[in-house]
Amino acid sequence: MIDETPLLRIRSEFPRPTARQVAAFSGLQTGFAADAMNGRGALDYRIKPLAPLQEPLAGIAMTCHCGPADNLALFGALASAKPGDILVAATDGFTGTAVTGDLLLGMARNLGVLGLVTDGLARDLSGILAVGIPVFCAGLTPNSPARNGPGSVGLPVVMGGVRIEPGDIILADNDGVVVIPRTEAEDVIVRLDAVRSAEAKLDAAVKGGLGVPDFISTVLSSGKVSRLP
């Protein structure tokens, strides 16, 4: 006899970054974090904030896999979340129904959750804005999901082309969402100093009148450029 599939598979406890590591990304632009990870780490461009953010959001990923047209796992993640977490709800990119609305997000806010990221859709925009925690999603629809399962909580998911482990650091702003793997966080933090320095130097040069940067001038004078008549 084949065993019945459980409605939810839940791992509530998993390795988490330190408070210092999360704080290192507080207020940081997502572009800086991506630059410190060789220009990668961002979710698909369609996953964007429902409303403009005043400042970047940084927190710890509480992952769940809901699958299409279902959000039982998201409620399971809610029950496992800790203050400072960001709910990460993978739907396999399903756009037929919403995965969340204002009531679930109100519960999340009451638990100290900082925000929600999904590759699916949301609904109840006015209510979500009133709740006040950021939501990053692929869009809006009035259609509602079921709560049937199966699903998982606290296990790796793939969202927007990026693998996300529970305990990874989520950094999000008006440009989108970047995932900093927990196991790489310390190295990324170290590289951020160089990224900030290079950005500040180039920014000052542009404000000082720079038109053509040195690197392209070097390429153009290298003899490796074919100039056409």
Residues of the chain under the 70 pLDDT cut: 1-2
What pLDDT is stored for residue 2 in this prediction?
A: 62
Which amino acid would we find at residue 90? A
Whether residue 29 is contained in a domain is answered as yes
For residue 44, count other CB atoms closer than 10 A to its CB.
Answer: 15
Domain with residue 116: its CATH number is 3.50.30.40
Q: How many CA atoms lie within 13 A of 43 on its CB side?
A: 32
Whether residue 213 is contained in a domain is answered as no
Whether residue 189 is contained in a domain is answered as no
| Angle in degrees, 0-180, between the axes of helices 72-80 and 102-110, rounded to the nearest 10 | 10
What tens digit of pLDDT does each residue of 20-66 get? 999 999 999 999 999 999 999 999 999 999 999 999 999 999 999 99
What residues make up the domain containing 64?
Answer: 8-183
Whether residue 202 is contained in a domain is answered as no
What pLDDT is stored for residue 4 in this prediction?
A: 75
Query: Using CA atoms in the order 143, 148, 153, 155, what is the torsion angle rounded to 10 degrees?
Result: -90
Instruction: Count how many domains the chain has.
Output: 1
What pLDDT is stored for residue 100 in this prediction?
A: 98
Whether residue 2 is contained in a domain is answered as no
Which amino acid would we find at residue 208? G
Whether residue 203 is contained in a domain is answered as no
What pLDDT is stored for residue 174 in this prediction?
A: 98
The strand pairing partners of 122, in sequence order, are 100, 140
Whether residue 65 is contained in a domain is answered as yes
Distance CA 166, CA 204 (A): 39
Whether residue 59 is contained in a domain is answered as yes
115-118/85-90 β-pairing: parallel
